[in-house]
Structure 1
Amino acid sequence: MANPKPIFEYNEESQGQKLARKSKDSPFMIIGLVGLVAACAFGAYKFKHKGEMSTSVFLMQLRVAAQGTVVSALTIGIAYTLVKEHILKEKKE
């Protein structure tokens, strides 16, 4: 079996400790969240200069861009994990 994960008492974790633990478990989730915030910040900035585009269309495009950022980061993370565990795994003697 793979390395056993340590047992934590999750009831006693603060929000900061939970975020730190999750970032160690899956760093691509944090990259996805940062990408989401960046896409939303860029969208808020661009909303000012949207021109003749209707607000609903602009918000739909912003939603698709933000979701695409998160899905891309998670897909890259899954691919990295699969390559690391199945292709580049060390042979045990």
Structure 2
Amino acid sequence: LSCSLSPHLSSYDEDQGSRLTRKAKEAPFVPIGMVGFVAIVAYGLYKLKSRGNTKISLHLIHMHVAAQGFVVGTMTFGMGYSMYREFWAKPKP
């Protein structure tokens, strides 16, 4: 029995870096959301020292809501952009 396999199996041969690059090109708003989330959390942790009279739990809740809001907003904008490209900006045949 002769089994001819493709010399290049894309899902198995690509390393993590090229896979991340390919996924970022397919959905560019995912890395933007991830970077924004990390930036907001880092800023919130930095500002933790100078929170004043605010309780730590309230500060962490505000930080969580801001980071989550950024990610949801980015996802919403990305879906809207994707829908625009697919339905309205597609050239008519």
Q: CA deviation at 1:11?
A: 3.2
Structure 2 partner of 1:55:
56
| Aligned counterparts, 1:22-61, within 5 A | 22-61=23-62
RMSD: 1.6
Structure 1 partner of 2:76:
75
Structure 1 partner of 2:17:
16
Structure 2 unpaired stretches of 5+: 1-7
2:64 and 2:18 map into 1 onto residues whose CA distance is 29
Q: Deviations over 1:52-76 (max 9, x none)?
A: 1111111111111111111111110
2:23 and 2:35 map into 1 onto residues whose CA distance is 14
Instruction: Provide the TM-score with structure 2 as the length reference.
Output: 0.83
**Which amino acid in structure 1 is aligned with residue 13 of structure 2?**
E
1:70 and 1:12 map into 2 onto residues whose CA distance is 31
Q: CA deviation at 1:43?
A: 0.5
| Deviating 4+ runs (over 6 angstroms) | none
Structure 1 unpaired stretches of 5+: 1-6
